[in-house]
């Protein structure tokens, strides 16, 4: 059990990732340990090049760690063969910065795609796609193509697609970085509503402390492939220990938004 009695949904133990380059081996992750509780909204924040995107790709094993263990929804992914890993990945929804929608498919058909690949029957697909499109407030746009949608609407399609197969975990990799502030606020509100409505565990990868303050229960700060500190969001704002965290907090304070953001979020 972990964190107020919640069962761990994501566990990383000693995760390392090394890449070979012409100038030698580069360590992108250096012994990352994380425990994320079921139903928690957890943030991972770091500056460009800190290892955030590599970390999220190791969680769903799009990148296989060089060392360490990755456990998601009770399954140790690092021990699975290709077939079992494909099945386990269906427990993990993914939302991307640049939406990753298929331009030749309508919103409806983009959301249907993972269900088609999973072998769902057409009638069941139709019921589920309409259900999730309604939940993300896009039912009226179901027959529009990505080129006909705003950035916020495209991201809602991406979220609906990630939710379609009823995952246990939702990974959001810089999901609001391409959006304006007002649209960002609406997407964060949607993610919070999803968490509250179905208890979905959400992991948010970001370089924006405002996103963490608005949405997350806890946060880990990553620097040069290491988690340099982690804990409840309010505690890290009040007593940042690492230089990286202090930089993020100072930048947000300079915008005059720390107190307001925490008050609205809570």
- pLDDT tens digits in sequence order for the chain, 266 residues long: 345 556 789 999 999 999 998 988 999 999 999 999 999 999 999 988 899 989 999 999 999 999 999 999 989 999 999 889 988 998 999 998 888 999 999 999 999 999 999 999 999 999 999 999 999 999 999 999 999 999 999 999 999 999 999 999 999 998 888 889 899 999 999 999 999 999 999 999 998 888 999 999 999 999 999 999 999 999 988 888 888 888 888 877 665 554 444 434 44
| Cα(41)–Cα(159) distance, integer angstroms | 15
Kindly give, in sequence order, each residue whose CB lies less than 8 Å from that of residue 200, ignoring residues fewer than 6 positions away.
39, 163, 167, 168, 169, 170, 194
Residue 171 in tokens: 């990974």
Residue 260 pLDDT: 44
The answer to whether the predicted template modeling score (pTM) of the entire model surpasses 0.95 is no
Q: Which two tokens stand for residue 199?
A: 């208890």
Query: What pLDDT is stored for residue 238 in this prediction?
Result: 87
Long-range interactions of 75-80: CB distance < 8 A, separation 24+: none
Element (H, E) at 83: helix 82-89
The pLDDT value recorded for residue 237 is: 84
pLDDT (0 to 100) of residue 262: 40
For 134, other C-beta atoms within 10 Å of its C-beta total 13
Stretch (H or E) spanning 26: strand 24-37
* Contact status, residue 143 vs residue 108, Cβ threshold 8 Å: yes
Which domains are present in the chain?
8-91+169-180+195-265 (3.40.50.300), 100-166 (no CATH)
Residue bearing tokens 């609205």? 264
């Amino acid at each position: 059990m972990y964190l107020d009695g919640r069962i761990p949904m994501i566990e990383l133990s000693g995760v390392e990732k090394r890449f070979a380059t012409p100038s030698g081996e580069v360590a992108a992750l250096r012994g990352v340990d994380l425990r994320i509780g079921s139903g928690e909204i957890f943030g991972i924040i770091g500056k460009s090049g800190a290892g955030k995107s590599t970390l999220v790709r190791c969680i769903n094993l799009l990148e296989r760690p060089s060392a360490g263990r990755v456990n998601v929804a009770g399954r140790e992914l690092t021990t699975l063969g290709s077939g079992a890993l494909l099945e386990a990945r269906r427990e993990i929804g993914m939302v991307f910065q640049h939406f990753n929608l298929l331009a030749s498919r309508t919103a409806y058909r983009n959301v249907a795609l993972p269900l088609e690949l999973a072998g769902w029957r057409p009638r069941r697909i139709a019921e589920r796609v309409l259900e999730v499109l309604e939940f993300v407030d896009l039912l009226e746009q179901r027959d529009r193509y990505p080129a006909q949608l705003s950035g916020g609407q495209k991201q809602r399609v991406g979220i609906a697609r990630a939710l379609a197969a009823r995952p246990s975990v939702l990974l959001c990799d810089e999901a609001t970085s391409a959006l304006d502030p007002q649209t960002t606020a609406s997407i964060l509100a949607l993610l919070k509503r999803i968490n509250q409505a179905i208890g979905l565990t959400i992991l948010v990868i970001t370089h924006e402390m405002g996103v963490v303050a608005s949405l997350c229960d806890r946060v880990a700060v990553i620097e040069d492939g290491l988690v340099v500190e982690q804990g409840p969001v309010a505690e890290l704002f009040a007593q940042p220990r690492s230089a990286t965290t202090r930089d993020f907090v100072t930048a947000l304070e300079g915008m005059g938004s720390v107190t307001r953001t925490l008050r609205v979020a809570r």
